[in-house]
A and B are shown apart, each in its own frame.
Chain A
Amino acid sequence: MSYIDIVPIGKIEEATLITLKHNLFQAFKIQTRIRNRPIDLSAAYDPFRGQYNSSGLLVQLINDLTPETMKILGVTEVDLFIPIFTFLFGEAQLNGPGALVSAHRLHNPFYGIPENEEMFEKRLLKESIHELGHTFGLIHCFTLRCVMNTSTYVEEIDQKSADFCRSCEQEILRWRNEHLTD
């Protein structure tokens, strides 16, 4: 059996992870599981920027894959960066095993407005599918409603759907046919 592993990095609400696990299975039709693994957040912390280096966390995440792990998604509440960018919603290895999403900028209070749990969970799901989509070889899509459409602002995440467009869906199906036997 092959899985998409969901790994919490730092403190994450259990209910959020369970909802995400269920919805990711629906999106990819691949078994999902939550795996608690030690990830050293402090090693990725940049005190000058007050943020966490995404690439450093991704390296730790893919360091210890199990034979059943097909893809691995790290989920964290910390604010991510890579040296060239001010922030990141997430990072993934194109055609690789690992992906990472940050919930930090997906909460409404970050923008000074009251929390909306439903909206937050939708945003987290969309960004998780998006980053995992890259690990299946998908690049950014021009279709505005497709989940693989690029988002650099939270409003753009809200505007797109959690679904793949027909073309991206075909790519995922093709990948499944090539890599999955069960």
Chain B
Amino acid sequence: MDHQKVSILIVDDEFSVRDSLYNWFKVEGYRVDTAENATEALKKLQEGPWDIALLDIKMPGMDGIELQKHIKRIDKTIVIVFITAFATVDTAVEAMRDGAFDYISKPVDPDKLSVLIRNAINHRRLVAENIQLKQKVEELSLQDEIVGESPQVKKIQELIEVVAQTDATVLIRGESGTGKELVAQAIHAKSNRRYFPIISINCGSLAEGLLESELFGHERGAFTGAQYKRKGKLEMANGGTIFFDEIGNISAKMQMDLLRVIETKQFTPLGSNKIINVDFRVIAATNTDLEKEVAEKNFREDFYYRLNVFSIQIPPLRERTADIPLLAYYFLGKYAKSMNKKVTDISSEAMKILTQYEWPGNIRELRNTIERALVVVGKKNSIEEEDLNLHTLSKQDSTEIESLEDLERAHIQRILERNNGNISKSAEILKIDRVTLYNKIKKYSLQR
């Protein structure tokens, strides 16, 4: 903080103190003013912001301690330093308890005053930075919000609002690509833990031994290759949220270990005998049918009930097609900005394809489709049908297609529909003879 931008208000009933401090700070380059009593000080504080207020404790009328309370009502961030000729532990403690930064007793060693003011400026800068960072967190938490106006999405948004205010464990369920992690982040961002980290761990992507090490951390030499001590994700999430993605994929032993950690909020890193206490909120996600896994004894029932305290089911995109245009335009805006492209529209033909497509990969697939379209769109300002690369998989080609036979069946059905069941015309297009077409209609139980 530049000295010339720092403002100091001196409040003291003694002229000599005001005058000498005024001159001292003036030659230091600060913006400085004085007030001889609390009334004058409050008037000056209301006229504009001040960085530091130096207050005499003993003043006629309202004393410094009382004045501090009034100042804090006007500006919570101002740094208050008390000056007193009656420096007793009691007054100092009272002043500090009420939020004063420090106190000095008269007469002051000039060097001590310089250090104190420097520290006060640093404190003020840190407070200002902290406020800015919190605002940034709030802004970021609003980004990548859950987009959609369908009743299903509105319901999810309501559930997020409700559960975010609690510390309950949340189980998010939904197909791959539906945005389970986004929901977890939204819950964290709206919770009181938002200024602490949210730590994600994909349980499905790590082998058991590695998952254990990732979660619990390890001491140096805990296993071959553990050359350094490493903090686990459970410890990193302290104060915040831990998000277990693909929780349905963890081993029975890990289920037991995690259940114990969630219950006790204690764990021991690998190779250590030190118990670590942690405080975190658990959010888990899965696209596995956990009830079936419990029934088949692949998933611990007690762990299932511990996770399934509050459940949020995210519907697949095909069940909320009304949101597709909103999502498509949301991703269009986002990627056009990041790619610096002036694409602002999606043609009605392209939108028809987007809304008719089944989206087996859900929102992630839609996002990737729009991102890809923006790469190939060239200099056009609108995404067209040919930019989408979804022609062969429109809605008529159901997601049931898995084998070549499925594909053949779907293709013949589409050609028949397009030609109103006309066998000759359809056979001609399919480049097979009519008998073969009849046989295939019979084989696949197709409708003409």
Q: Which residues of A contact B (CB under 8 A)?
A: 49, 55, 81-88, 91-94, 134, 139-140, 150, 152-153
**Cross-chain contact of B27 among A81, A87, A92, A153 (Cβ < 8 A):** A92
Known contacts A83-B106, A85-B107, A85-B108; A140/B27 CB under 8 A = yes
**Cross-chain contact of A86 among B17, B23, B108 (Cβ < 8 A):** B108
Query: Once the chains bind, are B110 and A94 in contact (CB under 8 Å)?
Result: no
Chain A residues with CB under 8 Å of B389's CB are: none
Query: Once the chains bind, are A84 and B108 in contact (CB under 8 Å)?
Result: yes
**Cross-chain contact of A139 among B27, B108, B110, B114 (Cβ < 8 A):** B27
Contact flags B22-44 to A (C-beta < 8 A → 1, else 0): 01101111000000000000000
**Using a CB-CB cutoff of 8 Å, which residues 97-138 of chain B contact chain A?**
106-111, 113-114
Asked whether B19 is an interface residue with its Cβ less than 8 Å from the other chain, the reply is yes
Smallest CB–CB gap between B57 and chain A, Å? 14
Nearest residue (CB) in B for A82 is B20
Asked whether B403 is an interface residue with its Cβ less than 8 Å from the other chain, the reply is no
Query: Once the chains bind, are A84 and B20 in contact (CB under 8 Å)?
Result: yes
Asked whether B353 is an interface residue with its Cβ less than 8 Å from the other chain, the reply is no
Chain A residues with CB under 8 Å of B110's CB are: 85-88, 152
Asked whether B16 is an interface residue with its Cβ less than 8 Å from the other chain, the reply is yes
Chain A residues with CB under 8 Å of B20's CB are: 55, 82-85
Asked whether B417 is an interface residue with its Cβ less than 8 Å from the other chain, the reply is no
Chain B's interface: helix, strand, loop or mixed, by majority? helix
Chain A residues with CB under 8 Å of B14's CB are: 83
C-alpha spacing A91/B19, complex, angstroms: 12
Query: Once the chains bind, are A84 and B27 in contact (CB under 8 Å)?
Result: no
**Tally of A-B Cβ pairs under 8 angstroms:** 56
Known contacts A82-B16, A83-B106, A84-B106; A94/B111 CB under 8 A = no
Chain B residues with CB under 8 Å of A55's CB are: 16, 19-20
Which 10 A-B pairs have CB atoms at the shortest separation, nearest pair first? A152-B111, A82-B20, A139-B29, A83-B16, A152-B110, A84-B20, A86-B107, A84-B17, A86-B109, A140-B28
C-alpha spacing A94/B106, complex, angstroms: 24
Chain B residues with CB under 8 Å of A82's CB are: 16, 20
Asked whether B21 is an interface residue with its Cβ less than 8 Å from the other chain, the reply is yes
Smallest CB–CB gap between B322 and chain A, Å? 62
Chain A residues with CB under 8 Å of B19's CB are: 55
Query: Once the chains bind, are A85 and B27 in contact (CB under 8 Å)?
Result: no
C-alpha spacing A152/B113, complex, angstroms: 10
Chain A residues with CB under 8 Å of B109's CB are: 85-86, 152
C-alpha spacing A86/B111, complex, angstroms: 10
Query: Once the chains bind, are A150 and B114 in contact (CB under 8 Å)?
Result: yes
Query: Once the chains bind, are B23 and A91 in contact (CB under 8 Å)?
Result: yes
Smallest CB–CB gap between A77 and chain B, Å? 20
Chain A residues with CB under 8 Å of B16's CB are: 55, 82-84
Chain B residues with CB under 8 Å of A85's CB are: 20, 24, 107-110, 113
Smallest CB–CB gap between A46 and chain B, Å? 11
Chain B residues with CB under 8 Å of A84's CB are: 16-17, 20-21, 24, 83, 106-108
Query: Once the chains bind, are A83 and B28 in contact (CB under 8 Å)?
Result: no
Smallest CB–CB gap between A143 and chain B, Å? 13
Query: Once the chains bind, are B107 and A134 in contact (CB under 8 Å)?
Result: no
Nearest residue (CB) in A for B85 is A83
C-alpha spacing A93/B24, complex, angstroms: 10
